[in-house]
Amino acid sequence: MSQVTLMQIAEKLNISVSTVSKALKDYPDVSDKTKGLVKELAKTLNYQPNAFAVNLRTKESKTIGLIIPAIVHHFFSNVIKGILAQAEKKGYLVIILQSNESYELEKKQINLLLRQRVDGILISIANTTRNFTHLSDVITQGKPLVMFDKIAKILECSKVVIDDRKAAKDATQHLIDTGCKRIAHFRGPLLSQNSIDRFLGYKEALEENNFIYDSSLVYICECGDSSFEEGKFNAKKLLQDHKDVDGVFINTDLVAIGALTAFAEMGIKVPDDISIVGFSNWFMSSVISPSLTTINQPGFEMGKAAFKQLHKELKQRKKSKTVVYEKIILDTALVKRDSTK
């Protein structure tokens, strides 16, 4: 069945197309009687505005792009929920793409979104992204770009983040406060900004408490946020290398859960023999045994804040106002559970 047009409504009511258009938009120069007739017929015929024509007229697609490293991920799924909740309120469609932590795929996806003429782009960059030319191109084309969680510090655009360094420092301090004397750290990839900041927070807490930093206590998880197996592997290696370690701060909860599993398999009691603090506060963190002490990372709130900033910049551009880039830092909190004393 073909789509009903303004022309068809106009012909049935014997009025002009412009009058039909004005009536549907509640223009004051159209009588209430005519408005009522037009709206009633439009409803009967199931008239839907031509989105393409509206977009051409307003120079807006009412569509934004969202690129994240992984969709099947507790934190990012919450970010998506926050973005979609705000986008729906403002009448925007969100195109969601997954980079799989691939720089090359991320570049292709940026180009795809630009070809689709999205109004703006939200992105958490891949761990392998080192060159930011594709992101600069978005800004050069006059489209708002808002980065969140994993960002490029050198890029001039708005960003929504947490203070990873402070959060990691709080996590490590908790281990110290609960009596840990030798604390290891499972960190993410060397060049991920999140991983760098969390490592620096760990190191800073040690130094402020007069602990000697030992680089051999730092284990790298190359897969970053999503490797349960790396958590198990590094936990076993830690026990082989350092039998005196009594605390571990781990970069993400899934890696921490892998470590908990390995310790259980090896007969190591948590927290009696070793304490663990994770990062993110996944759902699984509260239901495993022992439950995981972790840093709560506000994914839903981050998604909401990222969309709100993007929408704010869209309005600024539409009104030809100067776009003001902002860095929004959301609060984190330590969630104490059974994996620490």
For residue 268, what are its two tokens?
Answer: 């190591």
pLDDT at res. 300: 97
Between the alpha carbon of residue 82 and those of residues 17, 29, 69, 107, the distances in Å are: 40, 41, 16, 24
Q: DSSP strand E in the chain: where?
A: 63-68, 93-98, 120-123, 145-148, 158-162, 183-187, 218-220, 247-250, 275-277, 294-296, 327-330, 333-335
Residues paired with residue 63 on neighbouring β-strands, in sequence order: 93
Same domain as 304, residue 290: no
> What range defines the domain where residue 18 resides?
6-49
Same domain as 195, residue 102: no
pLDDT at res. 1: 47
Q: How many domains does the chain have?
A: 3
pLDDT at res. 77: 93
Identify whether 337 is part of a domain.
no
Phi, psi of 295 (to 5 degrees): -95, 125
- Provide the 3-class DSSP secondary structure of residue 208: helix
pLDDT at res. 140: 93
Same domain as 145, residue 174: no
Identify whether 238 is part of a domain.
yes
Same domain as 151, residue 40: no
Same domain as 208, residue 139: no
Same domain as 317, residue 270: no
Identify whether 54 is part of a domain.
no
CATH of the domain at 282: 3.40.50.2300
| Cβ partners under 8 Å of residue 334, min gap 6 | 170, 171, 174, 277, 293, 294, 295, 296
Give the separation between CA 58 and CA 53, rounded to whole angstroms.
Answer: 9
* Averages of pLDDT over each 10 residues, the chain, 341 residues: 78 89 87 90 82 58 94 89 97 95 96 93 94 95 96 95 98 98 94 92 98 97 74 96 97 95 97 97 94 97 98 93 95 98 96
Same domain as 197, residue 100: no
Whole-model pTM: value is 0.83
Same domain as 147, residue 30: no
pLDDT at res. 51: 55
Same domain as 303, residue 156: yes
